[in-house]
């Protein structure tokens, strides 16, 4: 449901905010006051083409924001996904720069116009100059017919069987491709590669040591000599220091701890010298082992680049695939039987759906035609065309709503109806019949009252009210017989402020509604008779 529309610097609008409510929202005002700007703004925020001339003269940019409450629309939220409107409220914003650039914001983040159009589909259906008519799009017609005919469960069953058939066919193709490409031989070759290094641990430290035996011997030999063996070695010099401090300690016992520390340091360094000597005596060059280790390390690194770091996991994956291929012939036989059975079930379901759809299409066409008669289009006729199409997840049918607006004409697609008023009334008739079925949350009508009046206008108002029991409806109208049915009534007026023309919108109180309906009934000069007629009109529009 559309709960708020905010417009800034668009056409003759400086800034306004319209809080729409549930049910039927009617918008009235004198000609030229800017009523259709609300519809233009909605079209813009739903993804329509942005035109720089929409920006108010002298302004840098125009902005439109729409707030939708989706908390009672689980199907819409499911379609949008968990990342959009997580709290149940969706804010769409469109900015049009005076120089022509446009920006889109979806819940505060930047988006694209195509993304906006995708998200907006199903939120709002606008009947005005062929813009945003979800019912005009033939893609939606099959779903509406199935909903009207109560074929939802059959359609779901059809989709399930089609998906099962598609999955089985894909599996067969995969197995056959694997057999054609000698996949099993290739898997065995890969497993043989991995088997060569199974359990092999590469000791990189040993490789490094064997590569540098000469350097290690020279470096550690010098270190061992300087510590212990050479004249003036560290350990000998430290022993002499220890003797001197020990002599001093006999004169001052407080130096006793320092003697102990020197003795410990000398002993530690002598141990280091001993270990270095032992290491040097055991250090040997081994070119053969070095070559073997380097070859093994090279092979392991190569296989890790090819299969990933976890070679054991790669081996398990290949073994599982090879095991599956070993029974490929048996699997193909089983899959062929399954595909034959599924094809038969799909064909049977396609035929069942086609028969039901053709029967229900006549009933739906007749129901919509009957509605058109009470909307001042008594000569019009609607046909719901069901034609054969390629078999897919929705069956084997293509459905389209066709209309002949005059006697003797051949029905043609709704999208080719030239008159905006006729199209709006045709769509109202369709929506009236399908009121409880459509996924759209808000219907907007801008030209539904074009060329009608009197009893027909009253009938249109009643049908709009009926539709609004299932969907929020916004209707821009010039006729009091329609406006009187509104649950909320908004008035648009145009004023001159300084040197600028400004359009504003205000929700009317009950008393103000009487005055506005009286103006619509009686013209600029409102008298008591017009007020009485307006009061009576309001009273008569409450079933």
Per DSSP bridges, beta strands 61-69 and 2-10 are: antiparallel
Residues 175/180/181/186 CA torsion (nearest 10 deg): 70
- What is the distance between the alpha carbons of residues 203 and 518, in angstroms, rounded to a whole number? 97
DSSP letter at 48 equals: P
* pLDDT-derived band at 526, boundaries 50, 70, 90: confident
CA-based angle 98:101:107, to the nearest 5? 110
Evaluate whether residue 495 is within a structural domain: yes
pLDDT over 60 at 130, yes or no: no
Mean pLDDT, rounded, for 413-436:
75
Q: What is the 3-state secondary structure (H, E, C) of 326-371?
A: HCHHHHHHHHHHHHHHHHHHHHHHHHHHHHHHHHHHHHHHHHHHHH
Model pLDDT for residues 107-129, shown as the tens digit of each residue: 888 988 888 888 777 788 887 65
Give CA separation, 253 vs 244, 250, 256, 261, in Å.
Answer: 14, 6, 5, 14
Judge whether 405 and 380 are in contact, CB under 8 Å.
Answer: yes
pLDDT for res 176: 78
Any alpha helices (H) in 197-327, and if so which ranges? 204-211, 213-224, 234-251, 256-282, 287-307, 311-326
* pLDDT-derived band at 181, boundaries 50, 70, 90: low
* pLDDT-derived band at 35, boundaries 50, 70, 90: confident
> What is the number of domains present in the chain?
1
Evaluate whether residue 11 is within a structural domain: yes
pLDDT for res 359: 92
- What is the distance between the alpha carbons of residues 237 and 265, in angstroms, rounded to a whole number? 12
DSSP letter at 502 equals: E
Domain range for 117 is: 2-132+440-507
pLDDT for res 514: 92
DSSP letter at 55 equals: B
**Which DSSP helix (H) or strand (E) runs through 540?**
helix 528-540
Low-confidence winner among 32-41, 148-157, 258-267, 358-367 (lowest mean pLDDT): 32-41
Task: For residue 71, give the nearest of 57, 90, 50 by alpha carbon.
Answer: 90
Q: In whole angstroms, what separates CA 155 from the centre of its chain?
A: 24
Please state the φ and ψ torsions of residue 32, each to the nearest 5 degrees: 85, 0
Evaluate whether residue 106 is within a structural domain: yes
pLDDT over 80 at 288, yes or no: yes
pLDDT over 80 at 78, yes or no: no
Select the more confidently predicted residue: 232 or 315: 315
CATH number of the domain within which 498 lies: 3.40.50.300
Evaluate whether residue 466 is within a structural domain: yes
- What is the distance between the alpha carbons of residues 428 and 460, in angstroms, rounded to a whole number? 8
Q: Which residues 6+ apart lie within 8 Å of 226 measured at CB?
A: 233, 234
pLDDT over 90 at 134, yes or no: no
Evaluate whether residue 423 is within a structural domain: no
Which of 138-152, 342-356, 440-454 has the largest mean confidence? Answer: 342-356
Average pLDDT over the chain, rounded to whole? 85
Mean pLDDT, rounded, for 500-515:
88
Select the more confidently predicted residue: 132 or 484: 484
Per DSSP bridges, beta strands 89-97 and 500-507 are: unpaired
Evaluate whether residue 292 is within a structural domain: no
* pLDDT-derived band at 348, boundaries 50, 70, 90: very high
pLDDT for res 393: 92
Mean pLDDT, rounded, for 514-537:
85
A 10 A CB-CB count for 319 gives 13
Residues in the chain: 543
Evaluate whether residue 268 is within a structural domain: no
pLDDT for res 473: 92
pLDDT for res 132: 45
DSSP labels, 382-399: EEEEEEEEEEETTEEEEE
Evaluate whether residue 111 is within a structural domain: yes
């Amino acid at each position: 449901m559309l709960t708020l529309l905010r417009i800034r610097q668009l056409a003759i609008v400086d800034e306004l905010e319209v809080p729409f409510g549930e049910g039927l929202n009617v918008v009235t005002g004198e000609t030229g006051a800017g009523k259709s700007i609300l519809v233009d703004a909605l079209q813009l925020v739903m993804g329509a083409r942005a035109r720089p001339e929409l920006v108010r003269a002298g302004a840098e940019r125009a902005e439109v924001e729409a707030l939708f409450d989706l908390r009672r629309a689980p199907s819409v939220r499911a379609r949008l996904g968990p990342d959009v409107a997580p709290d149940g409220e969706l804010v769409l914003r469109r900015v049009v720069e005076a120089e022509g650039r446009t920006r889109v914001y979806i819940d505060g983040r930047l988006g694209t116009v195509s993304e906006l159009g995708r998200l907006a589909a199903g939120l709002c259906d606008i009947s005005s100059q062929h813009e945003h008519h979800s019912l005009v799009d033939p893609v939606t017609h099959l779903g509406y017919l199935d909903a009207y005919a109560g074929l939802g469960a059959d359609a779901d069953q059809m989709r399930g069987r089609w998906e099962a058939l598609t999955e089985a066919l894909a599996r067969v193709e995969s197995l056959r491709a694997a057999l054609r490409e000698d996949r099993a031989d290739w898997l065995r070759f890969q497993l043989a590669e991995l088997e060569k290094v199974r359990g092999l641990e590469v000791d990189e430290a040993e490789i490094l040591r064997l590569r540098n035996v000469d350097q290690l011997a020279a470096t550690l030999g010098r270190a061992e000599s300087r510590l212990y063996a050479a004249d003036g070695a560290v350990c000998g010099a430290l022993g002499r220091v220890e003797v001197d401090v020990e002599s001093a300690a006999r004169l001052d016992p407080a130096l006793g701890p320092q003697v102990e520390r020197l003795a410990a340091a000398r002993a530690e360094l002598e141990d280091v010298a001993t270990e270095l000597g032992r290491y040097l005596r055991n250090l040997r060059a081994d070119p053969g082992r070095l070559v073997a280790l380097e070859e093994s390390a090279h092979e392991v690194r190569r296989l890790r680049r090819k299969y990933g770091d976890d070679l054991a996991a790669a081996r398990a994956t290949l073994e599982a695939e090879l095991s599956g291929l070993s029974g490929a012939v048996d699997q193909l036989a089983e899959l062929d039987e399954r595909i034959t059975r599924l094809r038969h079930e799909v064909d049977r379901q396609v035929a069942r759906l086609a028969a039901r759809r053709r029967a229900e299409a006549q009933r739906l066409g007749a129901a919509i035609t009957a509605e058109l008669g009470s909307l001042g289009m008594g000569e019009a006729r609607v046909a719901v065309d069901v034609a054969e199409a390629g078999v897919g997840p929705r069956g084997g049918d293509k459905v389209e709503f066709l209309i002949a607006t005059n006697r003797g004409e051949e029905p043609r697609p709704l999208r080719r109806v030239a008159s905006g008023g006729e199209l709006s009334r045709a769509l109202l008739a369709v929506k009236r019949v399908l009121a409880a079925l459509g996924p759209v949350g808000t219907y907007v009508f801008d030209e539904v009252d074009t060329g009608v009046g009197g009893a027909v206008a009253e009938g249109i108002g009643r049908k709009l009210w009926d539709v609004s029991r299932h969907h929020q409806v916004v209707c821009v109208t010039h006729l009091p017989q329609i406006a009187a049915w509104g649950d909320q009534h908004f008035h648009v007026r145009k004023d001159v402020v300084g040197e600028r023309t400004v359009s504003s919108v205000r929700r009317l109180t009950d008393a103000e509604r009487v005055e506005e309906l009286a103006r619509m009934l009686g013209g600029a000069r409102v008298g008591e008779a017009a007020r009485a007629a307006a009061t009576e009109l309001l009273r008569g529009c409450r079933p």
